[in-house]
A = this chain, B = another copy of it.
Amino acid sequence: MPRNFKITIAYDGTDFCGWQVQPSHASIQGTLADAIERITTRRLLPQGSGRTDAGVHALAQVASFALESVIPAENLQVALNHILPASIRINAVEEVQADFHARHSAVAKTYEYRIFRQSICPPFLARYAYHHPFPLDEEAMMRASEFVIGEHDFSSFAAVDPERGKEEQETENVRTIYSSEWRLDGDLLAYRIRGNGFLHHMVRNLVGTFLLVGKGSLRSDSIPTILAARRRSEAGPTAPASGLFLVSVEY
């Protein structure tokens, strides 16, 4: 009987092509698969709670995989951290019920987007924030962010996903957002959003739209209209990947 494992992973996404394995590019998923294979001689692909794009970071991504092995969970964690590059850390390994699946079992996720506000961004923060030193109406952004709380069709904030059919994209873009909030934290302006699921690029598209509000190009109360339009072209641009962190996944 294979055992089912749940691993919790932090990573600096800067030097990776994203979560998903790709030929001839270093991905988080592929790098994990290589490390698991070196330890156990088994080739498998850990299933993430969801993909993160190139340059996006994770404080606690979750992945699961079935493994025919007697290795204790703690030894697997130590061995993985020994083999993996320092840019990927396994913060927990647990043996879980056979029906646990990192993506299917997830009930909520939290993301954070970090914007550095001072005129010069320290080199030690540049990989982990979006540098935007220009004036922003932060209160308008805070007001705008409240409009996405609740159940909405987020088509206007979703990248077109080539893996999903047109019909699926038009019918399955409803998500529930439990909290959506900007806060000032020293030189960082941070946006935190928690919801039952997120479409591709959804957080970065929301942030790009809130930035338009902050710059005064869009009114904060235009968010409901953008949501209702269900058209990507109604919303703002996709904010850069470097500012985005997957904070946690709930089960």
Contact = CB atoms under 8 A, between A and B. Distances in A.
B91 A131 contact: no
Nearest to A11: B123
Interface residues of A, number: 20
A89 interface: yes
Contacts of A89: 120-123
A126 B11 CA distance: 11
B10 A86 contact: no
A53 interface: no
A128 interface: yes
A117 interface: no
A185 B109 CA distance: 32
Interface string A84-115: 00111111000000000000000000000000
Contacts of A88: 123
A230 to B, nearest CB: 36
A57 interface: yes
A16 to B, nearest CB: 11
Interface in A30-84: 57, 81
A159 to B, nearest CB: 25
Contacts of A124: 10, 12, 57, 127-128
A121 B128 CA distance: 16
Nearest to A84: B123
Given A86-B131, A131-B86, A12 B81 contact: no
A12 B123 contact: yes
Contacts of A87: 123, 126
A124 B124 CA distance: 9
Interface of A: 10-12, 57, 81, 86-91, 120-124, 126-128, 131
21 contacts: A10-B122, A10-B123, A10-B124, A11-B123, A12-B123, A12-B124, A57-B123, A57-B124, A81-B120, A86-B121, A86-B123, A86-B126, A86-B127, A87-B126, A89-B120, A89-B121, A89-B122, A89-B123, A90-B120, A124-B127, A124-B128
